[in-house]
Amino acid sequence: MTTHALHTDLYQLTMLASYFHQRQHEEPAVCEMFVRRLPKNRRFLVVAGLQRALDYLRGLRFTDAQIEALREVPHLKKAMTPDFVEYLRAFRFTGDVWAMPEGTVAFENEPLVRVAAPLGEAQLIETYLLSTINHATMIASKAARVVLALGGRPALEFGTRRTHPEAAVDVARAAYLAGFEASSNVEAFDRFEVPARGTMAHMYIMASASEREAFRHYGSLFPHSTYLVDTYDTVEGVKVALDAMGTGVSAVRLDSGDLAALSCEVRALLKARGRDEVKIVVSSDLDEYEIVKLTKSGDFDVAGVGTRVATSDDAPALGGVYKLVQIGGRPVAKLSADKVTYPGAHQVYRHEGDGRISFDTLGLVDEASYEVLEATPLLVPAMRAGKPVLDDDLAKARVRCKSQLAKLPEVLRVIERSDEHEHFFEVRPSEQLTRLLESIKAARREAA
């Protein structure tokens, strides 16, 4: 088990030290992670990254080397007293975590994760939790749109080279979770059993004396393969592959040019040759928008998607935040004009009708009102007293995501660009929550 204790913002440690030195670090706190507003071009989120976050919490401790490193931070010098160092040495995450399991469809202002822990612990973990869940949820949410756009055709994730090498492994996992069929990333196969796919690059063809010779060599080792046909001339390349490799050609990949026109031309050629079973794989700067166009004007079976899913390029950051909602049993709220947070510990209740998601209620954890009687609570226990209790894995999350995407109402399935202020889905605060917020506002007015 590795520890990522230093994968954090320095201020988490200065605050932790300050809580400790003022003896506030054990005060019971509740924090929640949520997204205030969906990014532009997103009508829903697919939650991902929880497993990595739970692994972090489980492994969290400060090694001697890490404590020595902290002593070297100029700003921390005065804080590293013997008793605080002792506290760091013994530090473990002992809190409770509730979360939406990976693959859950979520919306704005809904807690994806709720942490109940001593204040010092709840504080320290903020950065890593946000980092891992923001990144993976951003990717899964983008990938889910690609899956919807493909309407049942398989998607392959090829984006490793366009993102950080470690991020790429989690990109492959998040895309698979959201419904991609496979990834080119071999580490993701080893670590998460994400199916690995890939055949050849242009370089392979160029390193050979001819395209035909390259195909022959490749086919002698990999008898049923996808052939990359666009190194010199796409349609000619298909002919070379069919002539040289015959039934060994199970698919052809088109990676440049006018994919709509070329894919139709290639299909006609395949039909003329009686090779209806040969799949056409398209790639090259694809995303959900290009795929929607290609499904109308092109003719393909599989899409390879790289850069744009690996970077979520039309919404490259998810602004998930992590806020204190309760301290020492007292609900707290931020009341600034543009950034209201709801006080108290929350549950999200999902209402469905006719097999579709109809709306969500944001309520309190102990909510038992008529409003949520028929609804499904989305946050489930993930850790109790620092021990993982959620029986989940990537395969289950993928099934969950698929079933939730099938329940999306039509308006959320639309693949059009949209503004971040556009509103497509209703998250209603419960009456009980509304009353609590009003009472806190009234108390604040009185105090002022």
Site for its own copies in 210-229 (CB under 8 A): 217-218, 220-223
Kindly tell me which residue out of 41, 51, 109, 134 binds its own copies, with binding defined by CB under 8 A. Answer: 134
CB of 68 to its own copies, least distance (A): 9
CB of 399 to its own copies, least distance (A): 21
- Of the candidates 23, 221, 15, 35, the residue with the CA atom closest to the CA atom of residue 135: 35
CB of 290 to its own copies, least distance (A): 15
Q: Please list every residue from 309 through 338 that binds its own copies, using CB under 8 A.
A: 310-313, 316-320, 322-324, 327, 332, 334, 336, 338
Kindly tell me which residue out of 26, 71, 73, 261 binds its own copies, with binding defined by CB under 8 A. Answer: 73
CB of 301 to its own copies, least distance (A): 18
Q: Could you tell me which stretch among 20-28, 244-252, 367-375, 382-390 binds its own copies (CB under 8 A)?
A: 20-28
Using DSSP's 3-state secondary structure scheme, residue 229 falls into coil
Q: Please list every residue from 388 through 447 that binds its own copies, using CB under 8 A.
A: none
CA distances to 226, 233, 398 from 268, rounded to whole Å, are 18, 16, 35
Q: Is 18 in the site for its own copies (CB under 8 A)?
A: yes
Q: Is 265 in the site for its own copies (CB under 8 A)?
A: no
Q: How many residues lie near its own copies (CB under 8 A)?
A: 96
CB of 176 to its own copies, least distance (A): 14
Rounded distance, CA 404 to CA 355, Å? 10
Q: Please list every residue from 22 through 51 that binds its own copies, using CB under 8 A.
A: 22, 24, 27, 29, 31
Rounded distance, CA 405 to CA 141, Å? 11
**Long-range contacts for 9-13 (Cβ within 8 Å, ≥24 apart)?**
9/126, 9/127, 10/73, 10/75, 10/76, 12/123, 12/124, 12/126, 12/127, 13/70, 13/73, 13/76, 13/79, 13/124
Sign of the C-alpha dihedral computed for residues 203, 305, 319 and 16 taken in this order: negative
Instruction: Enter the tokens of residue 180.
Output: 């991609």
Return phi, psi of residue 304, to 5°. Answer: -100, 125
Using DSSP's 3-state secondary structure scheme, residue 387 falls into strand
Q: Please list every residue from 146 through 185 that binds its own copies, using CB under 8 A.
A: 158, 160-170, 184-185
Q: Please list every residue from 181 through 210 that binds its own copies, using CB under 8 A.
A: 184-187, 189-190, 196-204, 206-207
CB of 181 to its own copies, least distance (A): 13
Q: Is 126 in the site for its own copies (CB under 8 A)?
A: yes
